[in-house]
Amino acid sequence: MSRLLCLFVLSLGLMQTATADENNDRMSAYLTQKFGLAKEKAQKISDAVQSAASKYSLPPALLLAIISIESRFKEKAKGANGATGLMQVVPGAHRGLLRNVKDLTEPTTNIDVGSAILYGYMRSANGDMNAALKSYGGSQAYAKKVSLRVDDFADVAGQQDVASHPGAQANMCEADRCAAPGNWADAFTIPSANATNAAGVNGAAVLQSASPATPH
């Protein structure tokens, strides 16, 4: 019996790996075609997005939407208040989170930090992604823009989206926050506090470190 269970778990793991690889390839090809990225750079960004999406329970399409709005996938992008990189992270607003970061323009690092910041806002908002996006971008208009842009990446970002996220609806119902059908913004599962601490991110600390003028 245990041998059969081991074989099943192994098979499941291989299937998940194959699916992840397929999603990454599709995402990478789309970034190359749509945004003119070199294949190697597109692959690196795709890998980083998938990794951060899994780590912080965020849909890959959401992260891609934010990156496209913030920097159009230009890793050296600079903005107001020192906003840096793909997700336009503002160093002065998140010093604690960047204590050990040497190069914020490095795609994997930038995407991980930006996702951690968004995740911190989401925890502080009790899972309300609309409120988290408003905090990240500084306005409700920004949150709406991201919400609309998600659709552009839905077909290339794989199945880790909100609509198909296992248990999302149940978790929100347990918190008396049942999401309306098809409302991607409010149907997230939130990782445990232990998982957050292990990643070096504290949602409340992230929120407190950001000033209203430099939300991300």
pLDDT per residue rounded down to tens, the chain (216 residues): 455 544 443 443 333 444 556 778 899 999 999 999 999 999 999 999 999 999 999 999 999 999 999 999 999 999 999 999 999 999 999 988 899 999 999 999 999 999 999 999 999 999 999 999 999 999 999 999 999 999 999 988 865 444 333 233 323 323 333 333 233 333 333 343 333 333 333 333 333 333 334 567
pLDDT at 20: 55
pTM tops 0.85, yes or no: no
Amino acid 24: pLDDT: 84
What integer pLDDT is reported at residue 90 of this predicted model? 94
Rounded to a whole number, what is the largest CA-CA distance in the chain? 60
Q: Which SS3 state, helix, strand or coil, does residue 122 take?
A: helix
Closest C-alpha among 210, 215, 167 to residue 191: 167
Q: Are 162 and 85 contacting, i.e. CB atoms less than 8 angstroms apart?
A: no
Alpha helices in the chain, H assignment, sequence order: 2-35, 39-56, 60-70, 107-124, 129-137, 140-153, 168-174, 193-198, 203-209
83/134 Cα distance (integer angstroms) = 17
Distance of alpha carbon 24 from the chain centroid: 15
Number of C-beta neighbours around residue 8 at 10 A: 10
Report the pLDDT value the prediction gives residue 3, as an integer from 0 to 100.
59
Instruction: Report pLDDT for 87.
Output: 98
| Residue 30: how many other CB atoms lie within 10 Å | 19
> What amino acid is encoded at 116 in this protein?
A
What is the model's pLDDT at position 205? Answer: 33
pLDDT at 96: 87
Task: Mention the CATH class of domain 2-209.
Answer: mainly alpha
- Looking at residue 214, what is its pLDDT? 52
> Which residues is 78 bridged to in the sheet?
84
